[in-house]
Amino acid sequence: GRICHALAVDPGSMLAEDAVEADARRSVARFRRDEALDALAPEDQRLLYVAAEVGRVGGHLRRLLGRPPSLIDRAREVKAITGGHAGREGYALGRDARLRWAPGEAPVPSMHGLLESWSVHIASVQLASPQIEAASLFEEGAVPVIVLNRAHPRCRLPLARRALLAHELCHLLHDGGTRELLTVVSRDVSDDPIEARANGFAPSFLAPQPWVRPRSSDVYDLVVEVASRWGLSYEGGVYHAKNLGLVDRDVAKVLLSRPVNIDASPFEQMPTRLVAADGLSPAPLVDGLVSDLAIEAQAADLISRGRLAEILELA
């Protein structure tokens, strides 16, 4: 794994029995926009390259275990931004995705858990590029991958991380030049309409308008109620209430000057991970759904212990 990492060689091909074939999609050419590459340190480019391989290995393990494809494979529909209101389009997409794919008029207890139940691998790693919040990778046949930058403050706060995962879901479902391939990098400051659309998608997926019916008449209490009920940060609750027409713009500005901490404890409980029988520890990029799949496959004698070690050490 370390040799592959240093040389930017395809680690997944080292695990496969088949002859290696050149494929431009498996290089950094898979990035959707040049500016995404420009925002990344070279070591982060290499890390995301390996993250794509983790997704491919996860897809192979999923098939070995007889598991169904990710829901993203069925739900993914690349959509162009059609007007000048990307955020508004994101709101519509988020609402529609929630009502179709996660129905039930109740808060999502955990975006992390929901995405894993859809066979999305979520890795938390330290990136060298401090402005990068996350990256999403999709490739047909692979497990979709979301990489969170644990060096970024939003990835360390449960409610902010929850919103960020919903933001990345928009990228997985709707972004990319083709249906078959996507790598998109999310930065904390961006005027890209794609990011604006995902910013609108996230709160609308977490708290779709048809289900948001606050009882409070006081605007401050209303925002706290919406945020607490649906698992939004206070700031996220203010913006969502404004965008839903529950408070006006001037009131929202005042509310943003009166921040309060929203109790995050009902949300985003981290899943319990499987542990390899001999105590092998997965690298951060593999730790999660893919490490669980690998441990299950080895326990079922579908892969060897040596292959398990190779997978867990991908970095």
Is 315 in contact with 284 (CB distance < 8 Å)?
yes
Tens digit of each residue's pLDDT (9 = 90 or more) over 71-100? 999 999 999 998 889 999 999 999 999 999
* 300, two tokens: 């079922």
Tens digit of each residue's pLDDT (9 = 90 or more) over 159-185? 999 999 999 999 999 998 776 778 888
Tens digit of each residue's pLDDT (9 = 90 or more) over 264-303? 999 999 999 999 988 889 999 999 999 999 999 999 999 9
Is 178 in contact with 84 (CB distance < 8 Å)?
no
Q: Which amino acid is at 215?
A: R
- Average pLDDT along the chain: 88
Q: pTM of the predicted model, to two decimals?
A: 0.89
Question: Which pLDDT score is estimated for 190?
Answer: 67
Looking at the predicted structure, is the pLDDT value of residue 189 above 60?
yes
- Bridge pairing between strands 181-187 and 145-149: unpaired
180 or 47, which is more confident: 47
Looking at the predicted structure, is the pLDDT value of residue 2 above 70?
no
Is 94 in contact with 201 (CB distance < 8 Å)?
yes
Arithmetic mean of pLDDT, 123-152? 94
Arithmetic mean of pLDDT, 233-245? 97
Arithmetic mean of pLDDT, 239-248? 97
Determine how many CB atoms are found less than 10 A away from the CB of residue 283: 18
- Spatial distance between the Cα atoms of 313 and 297, rounded to a whole number of angstroms: 16
Domain residue extents for the chain? 2-204+285-312, 212-268
Question: Which pLDDT score is estimated for 229?
Answer: 98
98 or 28, which is more confident: 98
Looking at the predicted structure, is the pLDDT value of residue 257 above 50?
yes
